[in-house]
Structure 1
Amino acid sequence: MVATYFFDDNNSVDFREPHYSGQDVTLEHLGKLGVLYKYLPSQSDVDSLAEERAYKNRDVVNLSPASFANDEEKLLEKLNVFYKEHLHEDEEIRYCLDGSGYFDIKDSTIDQWIRVRLDKHDLLIVPAGIFHRFTVTTDNYIKALRLFQDEPKWQAINKPEADQNPVRKNYLATLQSA
């Protein structure tokens, strides 16, 4: 079962650590934020979901020291980019093929981070306009399939400019109407 909980906000500890606050979060709570989790044990399950949601493109990303010529500092530089609070104008779909990582999802209704640990066969769909961030675990390795509805792209919009983005405003409106 996927681990979902409130982030402990202890910034003196490496962000790749679990940061478990002791307060679990339900998948139902994530669903109210528009975040969907699925456990998909086979590639055919992933393919079916991709067809159902009209995802036409995909690629695979490997994050580990080996991805950066065994330079852990280069990996950390990249992780620092992914760990900045940001949003996307398209939903973000990630399927863990191997390894593990954390998606932190900002619950804007209570201004708290929710940490979701992804392991092999876990899939997370993060809606457009929601603030989030990502890191690997202390194992420093994840291999993830990225699914896209159109051409593969990854453009993060960071705070503070993201606050004024129309996609962000639309996302917040869906929370108010729920």
Structure 2
Amino acid sequence: MAQVRFHDTNEYISSAEEVVTFLNSQEIIYENWGVDRLDPKHRDNYSPTDEEKQEILDTFKAEIDEISKRRGYLTADIIVLSDKIPNLDELLTKFKGEHHHTDDECRFCVDGHGIFAIKGKDGRYFDVELSPGDLISVPPNYRHYFTLMDDRKIKAIRLFVTPAGWEAIY
């Protein structure tokens, strides 16, 4: 279950109901799809083959189709970040640059952990700490950045409206 941490006070929101209520107030979609039905061979595998990536996408096909219908997402893929990636620190430096997109930035955490740091509607910054099973969709034009948690790994499904809308505007 995701947690929210406020940058200015280091205060956390941890209860599921309060997390959902707060993120809704920020127009951020949060859902928990869970990962119980994920084949165990896909857990803690940070070098999945194309076939294994497709198996993960197929596992969550119903949820992907449902949110895609609501939000207009046209494509889905898998991103994997871990210490097995030779240029991980370079990628993280890029992701830590505050930016926005012209489309939603939608991610479903399959394994590992990640943090979306987001500038709220009132200008206050907060982190959304994602765990396996969490989905977040940051609306267009929201300033944010992404980083990993201490385990330095995440495997996530990315959903897009258009490839151009996903490009970061720094």
State TM-score, norm by structure 2.
Answer: 0.74
Cα distance in 1, alignment partners of residues 2 and 31 from structure 2: 9
Q: In structure 1, what is the equivalent of residue 11 of structure 2?
A: 22
Q: Mapping of 1:126-137 within 5 angstroms?
A: 126-137=138-149
Secondary structure of the residue aligned to 2:113 is strand
Secondary structure of the residue aligned to 1:157 is coil
Structure 1, unmatched stretches of 5+, are 10-20, 69-73, 159-178
Bigger strand share: 1
Q: Any conservation in 1 of the 2:115–2:129 contact (CA below 8 Å)?
A: yes
Q: Mapping of 1:60-139 within 5 angstroms?
A: 60-68=78-86, 74-109=87-122, 111-139=123-151
Q: Any conservation in 2 of the 1:86–1:157 contact (CA below 8 Å)?
A: yes
Pairwise CA distance, 1:152: 6.9
State TM-score, norm by structure 1.
Answer: 0.71
1:85-127 deviations in Å (ceiling 9; x for gaps): 1100111111111111000111141x32111111111100100
Identity of aligned residues (%): 33
1:14-51 deviations in Å (ceiling 9; x for gaps): xxxxxxx1343743232222211000136122332223
In angstroms, what is the RMSD of aligned CA positions?
Answer: 2.0
Pairwise CA distance, 1:52: 3.1
Pairwise CA distance, 1:153: 5.8
Structure 2, unmatched stretches of 5+, are 35-58
| Aligned residue pair count | 141
Q: Any conservation in 2 of the 1:4–1:27 contact (CA below 8 Å)?
A: no
